[in-house]
Amino acid sequence: MTVRIRQPLIYALLTAQLAGCMVGPDYVRPEAKISNEFKESKGWKQAQPRDTMLSGKWWEIFNDPRLNELEEQVATANQSLIQAEAQYRQAQHLVQSAQSAYLPIINLTAAFNRFRAASGQSVAVSGVRNLFSSAVSMAWEPDLWGSVGRQVEANTGSAQASAATMQALRLSSEAALADDYFQLRALDAQKALLDETVAAYSRTLQIIKNRYAVGMVGKSDVMQAETQLESARAQAIDLGVQRSKLEHAIAVLIGRTPAELTLPAAPLDMQPPPIPLSLPSELLERRPDIAAAERNIAAANAQIGVAKAAYYPTLNLALTNGFQSPTIETLFTIARRYWALGPAGAALTLFDGGAKNAQYKQAIDSFDASVAAYRQTVLTGFQEVEDNLAALRILDEEKQVQDKAVAAANQALALITNQYQAGTVSYLEVIIAQAAALSNRQTAVQLQGQRLSSSVLLVKALGGGWNVAMLPSPEQAGGETKWTDYLILPVD
């Protein structure tokens, strides 16, 4: 059966829809405090050329093939990221749900009634009768005040915020993996240092035992040397606890169980790479968490319009076209056809106990809260950049001083060892010199790991390789809609 709606009615519906207005404030991006330059960027060694920016695969600047391999698995296997992607799709479907309110609701009904007429009626109409009916009905509420439009706008903003949040989570997971990776490699470097120290202490112990055997030194020297050796061995073993935890954390970040990942020992042997530093004003365009906060403001602004539209009257239109017949054979004939326009009417709420006023004020309060959250996110972003710029600058200065301390400690150890062999100092002096040399070398290794971790955190603070151009457009935020989506059908 073909249901035809006359052109004048279609024109009337479209005219009513287009004649509607959008109540509520139009969105204007709020201002946020920014500085002209980063305070800690003075003396920063800028990457060359200046216009070189971080790419999407920002971790490649560290030039570590194993890290590259692990990072590639985050986007496809990290379960938190997969969850965020599903939440983004959910937000897209909420946009589609809001858009559906632009269109009428069409129902198809079919019914059969069997009844007996009242006995007081004439013989012609008394007795048991059948009534078959079938109808197509349409109900529609034109968006006269932009309530639907504002709701679509709000859901679109929320979907875009969800997409940006997903990207922020991706960046956070990638940075966490790189940080764990470099910490693990720093532990490998410390383990190599301690293994080297254990080997040296073992040789020293054997020399002292030999000297004790011929009466050149006392038993106390042997015991002190053994204590020093076993202490170094214990430190080397203790590193295994933290290394195992880091390896397990990396496995989870790439969607594996800890039992599925084993990273062979590979001592850290690299320096922090040059990192291109953007202008403070560009940070607003390069951090996905800032973009998410800004899109939440747009969604909250649109909700003010939704709440304001509730003050205005609503218009409801209805149309029914169907057939009724006492026999199934004659049901779909022109003679049995009927139609009805209505019920149609307008409604305006006169009293609701202050509910609409409360909802409108709540929408304004939600907007104010989202603006404050956005500005706080911007401030936090600047803080993170400044923190890591300062950390890299200070750690670089510390490294230069620490390298001198290592060299001095090694020279002191060599001199005191010679003096001990000459019998001019006690073995306690050797132990003190050995401890100082080991401590300074360990500090140098730790500084190397801290500098790389700070580099990773700076890249994260700068937004990685993301920029606001990657944010889905309003059309993309609504997702792809097929014609079958307009039908009420089971969805797999």
pLDDT of residue 4: 40
Q: Output the pLDDT for position 13.
A: 46
Query: Alpha-carbon torsion 405, 411, 416, 417, what sign?
Result: positive
- CA-closest candidate to residue 458, choices 61, 95, 32: 61
- Tokens coding 16: 């009513």
Q: Give which of 197, 128, 265, 89 is closest to 431, Cα–Cα.
A: 197
Contact between 200 and 317 (Cβ < 8 Å): no
CATH classification number, 7-103+145-311+357-478, choose in 1.20.1600.10, 1.10.10.10, 2.60.40.10, 3.40.50.720: 1.20.1600.10
Q: pLDDT value at position 60?
A: 93
Delimit the domains of the chain by residue range.
7-103+145-311+357-478, 105-142+313-347
Closest CA to 140 of 107, 97, 178: 107
Which residue intervals of 214-262 are DSSP H helices? 219-253
Q: Give the pLDDT of residue 49.
A: 45
**C-alpha dihedral, 35 to 38 to 40 to 43, nearest 10°:** -130
What six digits make up the tokens of 137? 């009905």
pLDDT in tens, the chain (492 residues): 333 444 444 444 445 454 457 888 999 999 988 888 888 777 665 555 444 567 789 999 999 999 999 999 999 999 999 999 999 999 999 999 998 888 898 888 888 888 776 665 554 555 788 888 888 888 888 888 889 999 999 999 999 999 999 999 999 999 999 999 999 999 999 999 999 999 999 999 998 999 899 888 889 999 999 999 999 999 999 999 999 999 999 999 999 999 999 999 999 988 899 888 878 888 888 999 999 999 999 999 999 999 999 888 888 888 888 888 888 888 888 888 888 887 777 888 888 788 889 999 999 999 999 999 999 999 999 999 999 999 999 999 999 999 999 999 999 999 999 998 888 888 899 999 999 999 999 999 999 999 999 999 999 999 998 999 999 999 888 877 665 666 665 555
Cβ-based burial of 4 (10 A; exposed 0-12, middle 13-18, buried ≥19)? exposed
Question: What are the distances in angstroms from CA 9 to CA 12, 16, 223, 340?
Answer: 5, 11, 103, 13
pTM: 0.86
Task: Tell me the sheet residues that pair with 315.
Answer: 346
Task: Give me the pLDDT at residue 118, please.
Answer: 64
Query: What pLDDT is stored for residue 122 in this prediction?
Result: 53
CATH number of 105-142+313-347: 2.20.200.10
